[in-house]
Structure formats: structure tokens, C-alpha cells
């Protein structure tokens, strides 16, 4: 398949990083009990049921390492209806408190219904805490994991000084420090806040910063935007606070890096997103020419390619070009006019995001004045078509709601519905070059995706929505971000849990879709 999904390597949950002071120095933690036991919940578990916990963990490790691997990879699927055994290619979870073997989804349900907090991952034996929503590290259990369940003595080569160094430079991470904090409005800075919240809740960006991807202590740039973002990740994920955060360093860094952003005027969130991605690219060892082989976190997360083909109507010569993109900008005005003409009187014309995507990748006619055919060596009428050659792990979609002319600026209020999950295969280069010719000529809408088999389906899931409320000159930005299965509204310093229906009813300006699954 020509369309490829650029997947990040090593996107597992990052370990909690240490807290630093304003100079970037490590702040020692006094909460040694929490560090020594992995998390507060494991500490309580070992205090109340130490012997059964070690016994059960050793038995699970023996099942993983000594018995045929298919045993630990087989579970009873509740989705099958008759609970028949299913062999999984993905890691499963073995409950530490009962004999259950579960998929990731069943694991979370098991935690909610049985209140069994801990489970063991079926590949390497790592322990997952359902209350922390993360894998944990407990020194005693880690020794047993390295021994693979065997009773022989494990030779620990670490010295007392090394153990002391680890403990003194580790920090207890509260399980409720999930990054759910608002940002204070420092004077029409809501455009900045919504983009920052989207980045903070992007798992690829989050894992990069929590794994010390940008080393603030080694960075020599003054007023570095990436350092300011690193500061926010440390603050949001290591301190259990509910009040808002003042992103002063981020505001200052943005002002100095982008002169057009300086001052307290309202800015466009889409333009600020483009500024942030470009700046983070440059400040994280990004290639100056921004080619596809750039290994920076921005390119690994957002970089894609569009394929543009132009076919001469006379000689049928085809010219192909590949263009990089970080987001897709879709027209809503032209589609709105078509919908209004086709709708019944009195009914509101509602667009669907997939209609906009179809229009974006449909064929369009080029007049002779717009195209010179190299083969004919003259101006000719032609047909142009865009398609998606390469998809990034995270796809931002910009709905062009703001129109600017020499004299006026206006906002397009058209309602655009968007799905929780979207199949992007119909808009890919592979689909456009292999679908039946009749379908191309008739521009059949891809609203019905039942024609796609799982083999050529590329499903992305909604992860964030940015909304502009009000008029173009006096509006306000808010955003929605998904954490697990929950949606949260971020309105400056206010953070509110909302239901999915409210998110889907929002008047979206920017949409962020994330790849639904990585290949094993």
C-alpha cells in the first residue's frame, strides 16, 4: 500500500521524571517510602498481603517463562459471547489477585468491577497499577521479575551508594497528577492555551518530554520554547495541583521567537500551532531543510505527504509531485453552498467532515491558462487531484472558517459534524489509484465506508477538538482533549469533565485524529 502510517518507535509509557527547580537542578524527594515501593497502592498491598503477593507473582512469572507462550497469550473473550478461548498477538494481562487473563480493555473493566488493582503484562512480567494507570517499578518485585520466577538467588551488582543515589534522585509521582490543569489567561492568550493543552495531552509529545527527550539542563538557548514546554510537563505530571498554571516562560519564548505574536492581541490558533510545530522542530535537533528523514519529535508525530497528480486532457501525460504537510486545511464555504442548494427549504445545511475530505481529494479542472504540459509544450486544459500519500500518527485537520479580503474579515459559522472514528483509506493515494474507473468519473462520495475491508481500512480516532466561539474580532478559544475514555473541556484555567455528545456537538475549528492502533 502506498499510503503509510509513520509510527513512532518506543511509544510505551515513559517513566516519571524528576522534579527540577528553576535552574534545572534535580530536587531530592523525601517521600522515600513511595519510591521504594513503586507506588502508594503497592506499598499498601505489600503491607497487608506481602506473602500472597510474592507467591502469586512468582507463579505468574513461571507461567510466562517456563510454560508454552501460548498459555499466557490465551484468554476468554467476553466479546465472543460464548467466552471461547482466543489467542492474542498483543500483550495480555494476568491478574495478580485472581487467576484471570485479560485483554487491555477487559483489564480496565476487571479493575472497576472486581477492584483488583494489579495485573502482570504477559510478555516481560511488568506490573501494571490500575489506580495509577501506569506500569510501576518495585525493587523487590523487580528482582523476582529478573529471576523469571525461579528461586535461585539473584546476583545484584549495584552498590549501596548507587541505591542511595537512585532513591535520593527519584520523585514520587502522585497517581492523580495526570496533566489535568488549566492555564491562566494572561491577556487574550486563549489561542495559546488551547494549542498547549492539545500538545500536553498528545501521548507522543508527552512521552518524549517525560523521557527527557529535551534536556533542559543542557539546552543553551535563551527563552527556549521547548524548555518552557518541558517545564509544563514536569509541573503537570509531578505535582498534584488543581489550580491553573501561568505559562509565563512559554509566553515570553513565543513573543521572542515569533515577532507577530508579541503583544496582547488575539491571535489565530491555527497559526500558533504552525508556529509551535516549526519552533519545536528547530529546537529539538530538527533538520534545517525539513526533509522526510528528519528524526525530530515533531516530524515523527505530525509529518505526512500529499500526492498531487495533474493529467493533461489532450495527451494524457501525468505529472506527479509529493508535498509535505503538518496539517490538512479543508474548505467549508464551497461545501456549505452546495449543501444549502441541495437541502430542503427551512432545513439547516449540515456538513460532514468526510464530505470536506472527499471534496479535498476530488478531481478538479484546470484551465489552459493555469497549466503548461511539458509533453505538448503548450498550455492545455488539465485535471488535478490530491490524495494522501503518507499519514502521520497524529493528523491535525483545519476547517477554514475565517475569510479575509482587502476590506473585511468574516467567520463562516457552518455546522460541520465529525465522527469519533474516521476511515482515511478512501482519501489515500492507494485508494485513488486502485478504485474502479467509474467511481472516479462519477466522484462517488466516500461517506459509506462499508466497501472497505479491514485490510485496506486506516482508522483514526478523535483525540482533541479546538473551538472558536464568538465573532472573528471578539471571540474566545476552548478545547476538548481525551484522556483514556474520558473527555475534558479546557477553558483557560477551568477544567471540566464532559460527555462525548458535547464534544461532537461543538463548532470545531481544529480537529486532531490519532492513529487507532499500531501494528504488532
User: How far is 366 from 373, CA to CA, in rounded Å?
Assistant: 12
4 forms bridges with which residues in the sheet?
390
- The pLDDT of residue 232: 93
- What is the DSSP secondary-structure string of 163-210? HHHHHHT-----TT-SS---B--SSS-HHHHHHHHHHHT-HHHHHHHH
Q: Please state, in angstroms and rounded to a whole number, the distance separating the CA atoms of residues 380 and 402.
A: 33
7, three cell numbers: 509510527
- The confidence score (pLDDT) of residue 441 equals 44
Distance CA 470, CA 450 (A): 38
Nearest-CA neighbor of 387 among 488, 314, 473, 310? 310
pLDDT tens digit string along 478-504? 999 998 888 999 999 999 999 999 999
CA distances from 19 to 182, 230, 396 (A): 20, 11, 31
The strand pairing partners of 312, in sequence order, are 382
Rounded distance between C-alpha atoms, residue 6 and residue 515, angstroms: 10
| C-alpha torsion sign, points 97, 100, 106, 112 | negative
Residue pair 346/336 in contact (Cβ under 8 Å)? The answer is no
Q: What is the pLDDT of residue 377?
A: 87
Instruction: Scan for cell 478531481, then name that residue.
Output: 363
Buried b (16+ CB within 10 A) or exposed e, 405-427: eeeeeeeeebebebeeebbbbbb
pLDDT score recorded for residue 263: 74
CB 198 within 8 A of CB 462: no
Task: Report phi then psi at 90, rounded to 5.
Answer: -95, 160
Structure confidence at residue 402 (pLDDT): 86
3-state secondary structure of 17: coil
Q: Both ends of the chain: CA-CA distance in Å?
A: 17
3-state secondary structure of 147: coil
- Joined grid coordinates for residue 415: 455546522
- The string over 248-278, giving b where at least 16 C-beta atoms fall within 10 Å of a residue's C-beta and e elsewhere, is ebbbebbeebbeebeeeebbebbebbbbbbb
Q: Are 445 and 355 in contact (CB under 8 A)?
A: yes
Task: Characterise 268 by phi-psi region: left (phi > 0), alpha (psi -120 to 50), beta (else).
Answer: beta
Residue 110, SS3 per DSSP: helix
Predicted local distance difference test score (pLDDT) of residue 51: 92
**pLDDT confidence of residue 446:** 46
Name which of 145, 107, 100 is nearest 125 in CA terms: 145
Nine-digit cell string for 147: 529471576
The sheet that has 134-136: what strands, in order across it? 101-102, 93-95, 118-121, 127-129, 134-136
125: nearest Cα among 108, 105, 150: 150
The residue written with cell numbers 507506588 in the block is 39
Rounded-to-integer distance, Cα 428 and Cα 388, Å: 4
Q: What is the pLDDT of residue 438?
A: 39
> Which H or E element spans position 69?
helix 69-72
pTM of the entire predicted model: 0.71
What is the pLDDT at residue 37?
Answer: 66
What are the distances in angstroms from CA 139 to CA 36, 162, 175, 228, 294?
7, 13, 19, 33, 38
- pLDDT at 81 (0 to 100): 56
- Using alpha carbons only, how large is the chain's radius of gyration in Å? 26
Mean pLDDT in consecutive groups of 10 residues from the start of the chain, 520 residues? 45 42 42 58 89 92 84 72 73 91 88 91 91 85 81 60 69 64 91 95 93 88 93 85 87 87 83 94 81 84 94 90 93 65 55 92 89 88 92 95 79 90 93 64 45 71 94 88 91 92 95 74
Helix (H, G, I), strand (E, B) or coil at 222: coil
Separation in Å, CA 83 to CA 10, 76, 170: 33, 5, 43
b/e burial code for range 470-501 (CB count within 10 A of at least 16 → b): eebeebbbbbbbbeeeebbbbbbbebeeeeee
Cell of 158: 549495584
pLDDT value at residue 451: 46
Can you list the domains of the chain with their CATH numbers? 40-151 (3.30.40.10), 189-283 (no CATH)
Q: Is the dihedral of CA 437, 442, 443, 444 positive or negative?
A: negative
Amino acid at each position: 500500500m502506498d499510503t503509510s502510517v509513520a509510527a513512532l518507535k518506543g511509544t510505551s509509557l515513559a517513566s516519571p521524571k524528576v522534579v527540577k527547580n528553576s535552574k534545572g537542578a534535580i530536587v531530592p524527594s523525601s517521600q522515600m517510602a513511595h519510591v521504594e515501593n513503586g507506588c502508594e497502592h503497592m506499598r499498601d498491598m505489600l503491607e497487608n498481603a506481602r506473602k500472597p503477593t510474592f507467591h502469586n507473582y512468582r507463579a505468574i512469572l513461571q507461567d510466562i517463562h517456563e510454560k508454552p507462550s501460548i498459555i499466557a497469550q490465551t484468554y476468554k473473550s467476553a466479546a465472543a459471547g460464548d467466552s471461547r478461548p482466543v489467542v492474542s498477538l498483543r500483550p495480555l494481562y494476568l491478574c495478580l489477585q485472581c487467576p484471570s487473563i485479560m485483554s487491555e480493555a477487559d483489564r480496565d473493566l476487571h479493575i472497576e468491577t472486581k477492584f483488583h488493582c494489579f495485573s502482570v503484562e504477559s510478555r516481560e512480567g511488568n506490573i501494571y497499577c490500575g489506580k495509577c494507570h501506569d506500569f510501576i517499578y518495585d525493587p523487590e518485585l523487580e528482582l523476582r521479575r529478573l529471576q523469571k520466577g525461579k528461586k535461585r538467588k539473584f546476583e545484584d551488582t549495584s552498590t549501596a551508594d548507587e541505591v542511595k543515589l537512585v532513591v535520593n534522585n527519584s520523585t514520587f509521582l502522585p497517581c492523580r497528577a495526570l496533566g489535568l490543569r488549566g492555564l491562566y489567561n494572561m491577556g487574550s492568550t486563549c489561542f495559546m492555551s488551547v494549542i498547549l493543552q492539545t500538545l500536553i495531552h498528545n501521548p507522543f509529545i508527552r512521552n518524549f518530554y517525560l523521557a527527557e527527550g529535551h534536556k533542559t539542563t543542557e539546552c543553551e538557548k535563551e527563552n527556549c520554547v521547548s524548555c518552557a514546554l518541558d517545564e509544563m510537563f514536569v509541573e503537570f505530571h509531578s505535582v498534584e495541583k488543581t489550580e491553573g498554571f501561568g505559562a509565563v516562560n512559554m509566553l515570553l519564548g513565543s513573543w521572542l521567537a515569533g515577532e507577530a505574536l508579541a503583544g496582547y492581541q488575539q491571535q489565530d490558533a491555527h497559526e500558533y500551532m504552525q508556529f509551535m510545530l516549526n519552533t519545536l522542530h528547530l529546537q529539538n535537533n530538527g533538520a534545517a531543510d525539513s526533509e522526510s528523514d528528519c528524526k525530530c519529535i515533531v516530524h515523527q508525530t505530525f509529518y505526512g505527504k500529499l500526492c498531487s497528480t495533474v493529467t493533461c486532457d489532450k495527451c494524457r501525460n501525468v505529472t506527479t509531485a509529493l508535498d509535505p504537510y503538518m496539517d490538512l486545511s479543508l474548505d467549508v464555504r464551497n461545501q456549505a453552498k452546495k449543501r444549502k442548494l441541495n437541502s430542503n427549504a427551512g432545513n439547516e445545511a449540515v456538513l460532514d467532515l468526510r464530505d470536506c475530505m472527499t471534496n479535498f481529494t476530488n478531481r478538479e479542472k484546470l484551465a489552459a491558462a493555469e497549466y503548461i504540459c511539458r509533453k505538448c509544450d503548450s498550455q492545455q486544459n488539465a485535471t488535478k487531484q490530491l490524495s494522501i500519500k503518507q499519514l502521520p500518527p497524529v493528523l491535525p485537520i483545519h476547517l477554514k472558517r475565517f475569510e479575509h479580503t482587502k476590506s473585511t474579515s468574516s467567520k463562516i459559522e457552518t455546522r460541520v459534524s465529525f465522527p469519533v472514528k474516521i476511515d482515511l483509506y478512501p482519501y489515500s493515494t492507494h485508494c485513488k489509484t486502485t478504485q474502479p474507473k467509474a467511481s472516479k468519473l462519477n466522484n462517488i462520495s466516500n461517506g459509506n465506508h462499508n466497501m472497505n475491508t479491514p485490510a485496506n481500512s486506516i482508522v483514526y480516532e478523535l483525540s482533541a477538538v479546538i473551538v472558536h466561539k464568538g465573532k472573528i474580532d471578539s471571540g474566545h478559544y476552548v478545547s476538548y482533549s481525551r484522556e483514556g475514555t474520558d473527555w475534558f473541556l479546557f477553558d483557560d484555567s477551568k477544567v471540566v469533565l464532559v460527555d462525548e455528545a458535547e464534544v461532537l456537538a461543538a463548532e470545531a475549528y481544529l480537529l486532531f485524529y490519532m492513529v487507532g492502533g499500531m501494528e504488532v
